Amino acid sequence: MITLNDTVLQYLLAAVVALPLLGAAAALLPAPPGLRGRSPEQAVLRHGVTVTGVVLAAALALAAGFDYDRAQDIQGGTDISWIPALGIRLHLGVDGISLPLLVLTALLTFLCALYSYRNPPKGPTPTAFVALLLVLEAGTLATFAVLDLVLFFLAFEMVLVPMYFLIARWGGEGRAKAAWKFILYTLLGSVVMLLGLLLVGLTAGTFDMVALASDNGAGIGRTTQIVAVLALGIGFAVKTPMWPLHTWLPDAHTAAPTVGSVLLAGVMLKMGTYGLVRIVLPAAPEGAAHFAPYLAAFAVVGILYGSLACLALVRRGGGGDLKRLIAYSSVGHMGFVLLGIATLTRTGVNGALFANVAHGLITGLLFFLVGALKERTGSTDLDALAAQAAGGRGAGLYGRAPRFGGLLAFGAVASLGLPGLAGFWGEMLALLGAYHPADGLSRPAYLVFMALGGLGTLLTAAYLLLVVRRVCMGERQPETAALPDVRGYEFAAWTPLVVLTVLAGLWPALLLGLTDPAVQNLLPGVSR
């Protein structure tokens, strides 16, 4: 859009990764005179908004300066030797795959900071909260920006510590156990992943992702590739999460504070699928082809399992928690992403990347809304909510807070994949990819997967409409008080997500034009 030379891009990208870290350190220091604000709490929360805002601005400038005609190339690259003894380099860069995720991360973190500024989370001091939020942002951005396997691992791990504390300190009921489960699962997963990364790096003789992608697995034997993909796959599958390794996710989401849930669903889950696309597909294609059918099978089970679990939660008397329901729906949605990747086709992988971003936008919005709902009604228990209105059939949000109810219905409908909204394209492309998987993969099996995935979309629609039925609809009782409708700061935090959901739904080429050249680059020799 605007032309920036590569040096400027390079500095912008370095700034995007480094600023949150510097900001986190600065948050721990006392505020300088002139920036003290009304109270130390207010000052540090404002600091969080400023830093994430600057990072977002830098990310947007990076997106503006990105050369869309060569989206397959690494742009804004920095490549400095860090540990020559092990051949580890500080290698940064963006291409069409990582750019949307970088911008999404910067945006969601900024919105979270904005939201927390007016609505500080309940817990210990906000200083630590802001510092942790910024470290979390730095780790996530670094995961998407680095091009060295070992750095990738470091960035991947850097996210765990702040997320653990966000859950354990600012979370709700059962937070200690949920946080421990979260850290245990993801840590064990990433240790296995590290072994896979080392195996790939040491046998190929380089840790550089660009070199590994251009070699396309040439320097790694088939057996090694299979072992490496197994190890890497387990690590990424825990993070994504893939059924049956998902059990940490519902607990973590239910216990996490609103901001934690938004970031967890919005960006952290993407790190797993990003790793699959960025590392597994290009660096070990034979291993990937070996495991693709299994991955697809697990993905489809995840889709069905996620939606059935949601259906069980949403039914009357099921005692389902709305946050937990959205967490399970994430398992289903990420199942589509995994299915898209497992087709090993351009269509499927593009669909997966699209669904990744769409899920970030929509589920981020939904977690914001559920957090706000809990604050207004004091509960996210579906039965308790429904009991607040006449006949216990629905919470009657439309009547009590019309705009809020409308937004919630919008989020639910977007999540079920209504055409015209962001959720549609990714899942459709993933299913389309499964209709005609890459050569060498069993087509009948994938047709079955596709059919089951299609069934999953139906079930998803069913439970999300039931959620709308039970939360938004229902007759308003005269004695129940009206709820506060969407507040100014909530409006500011949620509008960008709504706008982008509609935009991505109406103009999918915006995103697909960016990812497709890069995906072609990662899957050489694949025609579809």
3-class DSSP string for 378-441: CCCEHHHHHCCCHHHCCCCHHHHCHHHHHHHHHHHHHHCCCCCCHHHHHHHHHHHHHHCCCCCC
Question: The tokens of 187 are what?
Answer: 């840590």
Nearest approach in angstroms of CB 202 to other proteins is 5
Q: Say if CB 76 and CB 92 are below 8 A apart.
A: yes
Q: Is 187 one of the binding residues for other proteins (CB under 8 A)?
A: yes
The single residue among 29, 83, 458, 482 that binds other proteins, judged by CB under 8 A, is 83
Question: The tokens of 514 are what?
Answer: 């960016």
Q: Is 85 one of the binding residues for other proteins (CB under 8 A)?
A: yes
Q: Is 18 one of the binding residues for other proteins (CB under 8 A)?
A: no
Give the binding-site size for other proteins (rule: CB under 8 A). 27
What SS3 state is found at 6?
Answer: helix
Q: Which is nearer to other proteins, 204 or 362 (CB)?
A: 204
What SS3 state is found at 293?
Answer: helix
The single residue among 60, 161, 308, 451 that binds other proteins, judged by CB under 8 A, is 161
Nearest approach in angstroms of CB 252 to other proteins is 16
Stretch that binds other proteins, among 83-91, 352-360, 477-485, 508-516 (CB under 8 A): 83-91
- 486: Cβ contacts below 8 Å, ≥ 6 apart: 401, 403, 404, 407, 494
Nearest approach in angstroms of CB 470 to other proteins is 37
Q: Which is nearer to other proteins, 28 or 492 (CB)?
A: 28
The single residue among 150, 289, 313, 361 that binds other proteins, judged by CB under 8 A, is 150
Pairing of strands 88-94, 75-83: antiparallel
Q: Is 84 one of the binding residues for other proteins (CB under 8 A)?
A: yes
Max intra-chain CA distance, the chain:
73
Nearest approach in angstroms of CB 203 to other proteins is 8
Stretch that binds other proteins, among 39-47, 80-88, 386-394, 506-514 (CB under 8 A): 80-88
Taking residue 100's Cβ as centre, other Cβ atoms within 10 Å add up to: 23
Nearest approach in angstroms of CB 234 to other proteins is 12
Q: How far apart are CA 94 and CA 146, in angstroms?
A: 8
Q: Say if CB 154 and CB 139 are below 8 A apart.
A: no
The single residue among 99, 166, 168, 519 that binds other proteins, judged by CB under 8 A, is 168
**Angle 98-118/126-145 helices, nearest 10 degrees?**
170
Q: How far apart are CA 524 and CA 183, in angstroms?
A: 36
Q: Which is nearer to other proteins, 252 or 504 (CB)?
A: 252
Nearest approach in angstroms of CB 82 to other proteins is 7
Triad 408, 412, 415: Cα angle to 5°:
140
Nearest approach in angstroms of CB 150 to other proteins is 7
Applying the rule CB under 8 A, the residues between 331 and 370 that interact with other proteins are none
Could you give the string, one character per residue 428-467, with x where binding to other proteins holds by CB under 8 A and - elsewhere?
----------------------------------------
Q: Which is nearer to other proteins, 200 or 344 (CB)?
A: 200
DSSP string, 497-509: HHHHHHHHHH-TH
The single residue among 18, 31, 61, 154 that binds other proteins, judged by CB under 8 A, is 154
Could you give the string, one character per residue 27-66, with x where binding to other proteins holds by CB under 8 A and - elsewhere?
----------------------------------------
Asked if residue 33 has a cis previous peptide bond (ω within 30° of 0), the answer is no
Q: Say if CB 206 and CB 148 are below 8 A apart.
A: no
Q: Which is nearer to other proteins, 97 or 192 (CB)?
A: 192
Applying the rule CB under 8 A, the residues between 86 and 125 that interact with other proteins are 86, 88
CA–CA distances in Å: residue 33 to residues 19, 37, 40, 46, 117: 21, 9, 11, 14, 20
Nearest approach in angstroms of CB 224 to other proteins is 10
The single residue among 191, 390, 447, 451 that binds other proteins, judged by CB under 8 A, is 191
Nearest approach in angstroms of CB 84 to other proteins is 6
Stretch that binds other proteins, among 14-22, 44-52, 187-195, 330-338 (CB under 8 A): 187-195
Stretch that binds other proteins, among 97-105, 189-197, 272-280, 355-363 (CB under 8 A): 189-197
Applying the rule CB under 8 A, the residues between 198 and 217 that interact with other proteins are 198-199, 202-203
Q: Which long-range contacts (CB under 8 A, 24 or more apart) does 490-496 make?
A: 490/115, 490/368, 490/372, 492/114, 493/111, 493/112, 493/114, 493/115, 493/368, 494/111, 494/365, 494/368, 494/369, 494/407, 496/107, 496/111
Q: Which is nearer to other proteins, 154 or 418 (CB)?
A: 154
Q: Which of 78, 272, 253, 77 is nearest to 159 (CA)?
A: 272
What's the distance, Cα to Cα, between the start and end of the chain in Å?
Answer: 29
Q: Which of 288, 306, 301, 297 is nearest to 349 (CA)?
A: 288
**Positions that interact with other proteins (CB under 8 A):** 82-86, 88, 150, 153-154, 157-158, 161, 165, 168, 176, 180, 183-184, 187-188, 191-192, 195, 198-199, 202-203
